[in-house]
Amino acid sequence: MIVRRTVLSALGCLVLGACGPAGEDGSAARFPKDSTMARIRERGVLTVGIKFDLPLFGYKDPSTGWITGFDADIARMVAQDLTGSEHNIRFIETMPRNREDFLDRGVVDIVVATYSISDERRKLVDFTDPYYYSGQDVLVRNTDTDMRTVADLAGKAVCTGARSTPLERLKARLRHARLVVVDNYSECVSPLLEGRIDAISTDDSILLGLMSEHPDSLRLLGSPFGRESYGIGVRRGDSAFRGYLNGLIRRFLTDGGWDEVFRNTIGVMGVSPKTAKPTPSR
């Protein structure tokens, strides 16, 4: 896969006629000198804001320190293209409360962190085209068989993430629920298993990851409401970098890369890629 991509990049370079001499890492130096892409290539490391606690999307394995998941694989694809190796990458844990700030201050080059594109956030950062579609859903205990749809959350204690788009949707839909708001979704899991709260509600991609660790105790309602479009976050105004990343996403969606990453991550939960895969932009 990686070999094929490198060849494709080189071909793209030839076709577009935008290649300079080969860089030291063997990849073509095809970026304008003062661009973010050139700076990252020069530095030799891509810094990435990602979640550390979401199995199947962005998860730091406690025994190896290795970051796994769909978001991690996208970030590695970017590192591969920019620096010639997917290993030239530094992952930094980000949460909803510092994603915009980390981009603004240059702590990270990109944020790939189940980060939904929204008009509100666009005032602070820019987003690439979507690379994944998720729907908001609800995770409950297996034994709570009378919970079927979001309407059954009325009067219940529901855990969700601070400063998240799902929190806003819950506020609009559930007048009578008690919302328990946390920084990291993994903080919701023990309270749910122990019966201190009744449900977790956020993106189904996140919920499936949490459920993957407790498949015998937790259940997804499976009636999604509202769509979340994940984009890669970049510093506001960096349209050249955004355009470059959009090109990579387009390629990822069309060359089989997306399908392979999906199969190896969130796809293991038996979900269909049909609703999750965006149509590549032109």
Considering the complex, what minimum distance in angstroms separates the CB of residue 160 from ligand GLU? 8
Q: How far apart are the first and last CA of the chain?
A: 23
Considering the complex, what minimum distance in angstroms separates the CB of residue 164 from ligand GLU? 3
Considering the complex, what minimum distance in angstroms separates the CB of residue 81 from ligand GLU? 25
For residue 18, which of 282, 240, 232 has the smallest C-alpha distance?
240
Q: Of 161 and 257, which has the nearer Cβ to ligand GLU?
A: 161
Q: Of 68 and 116, which has the nearer Cβ to ligand GLU?
A: 116
Q: Of 54 and 218, which has the nearer Cβ to ligand GLU?
A: 54
Q: Of 82 and 249, which has the nearer Cβ to ligand GLU?
A: 249
Considering the complex, what minimum distance in angstroms separates the CB of residue 177 from ligand GLU? 17
Q: Of 46 and 117, which has the nearer Cβ to ligand GLU?
A: 117
Considering the complex, what minimum distance in angstroms separates the CB of residue 41 from ligand GLU? 29
**For every residue of the chain, which 3-state class applies, written as one string?**
CHHHHHHHHHHHHHHHCCCCCECCCCCECCCCCCCHHHHHHHHCCEEEEECCEECCCEEECCCCCCEECHHHHHHHHHHHHHHCCCCCEEEEECCCCCHHHHHHCCCCCEECCCCECCHHHHCCEEECCCCEEEEEEEEEECCCCCCCCHHHHCCCEEEEECCCHHHHHHHHHCCCCEEEEECCHHHHHHHHHCCCCCEEEEEHHHHHHHHHCCCCCEEECCCCEEEEEECCEEECCCHHHHHHHHHHHHHHHHCCHHHHHHHHCHHHHCCCCCCCCCCCCC
Considering the complex, what minimum distance in angstroms separates the CB of residue 165 from ligand GLU? 4
Considering the complex, what minimum distance in angstroms separates the CB of residue 49 from ligand GLU? 11
Contact call for residues 77 and 4 (beta carbons, < 8 A): no
What residue ranges bind ligand GLU (CB under 6 A)? 96, 114-116, 161, 164-166, 202-203, 228
Q: Of 31 and 70, which has the nearer Cβ to ligand GLU?
A: 70
Q: Of 37 and 125, which has the nearer Cβ to ligand GLU?
A: 125
Q: Which residue is nearest to ligand GLU (CB)?
A: 164
